[in-house]
Amino acid sequence: MQLKPMRLFTPAKINTILRILSKRDDGFHEIFTHMVPISFFDVLTLQEHSMKRFSFRCNLQELEGP
Q: What is the DSSP pairing of strand 29-46 with strand 6-23?
A: antiparallel
Report pLDDT digits (tens) over 19-62: 999 999 999 999 999 999 999 988 888 887 777 777 767 777 77
Residue 27, sorted as left (phi over 0), alpha (psi -120 to 50) or beta, turns out to be left
Sign (positive or negative) of CA dihedral 10, 15, 21, 27: positive
Is the residue at 28 inside a domain?
Answer: yes
Nearest to 40 by CA among 11, 2, 62: 11
Q: Which residues pair with 6 in a beta bridge?
A: 46
pTM metric for this prediction: 0.48
Amino acid at 51: M
Could you give the number of structural domains in the chain? Answer: 1
Q: Whole domain around residue 51: which residue ranges?
A: 6-63
Cβ–Cβ < 8 Å for 15, 34:
yes
Is the residue at 1 inside a domain?
Answer: no
Confidence of residue 65 (pLDDT cuts 50, 70, 90): low
Is the residue at 15 inside a domain?
Answer: yes
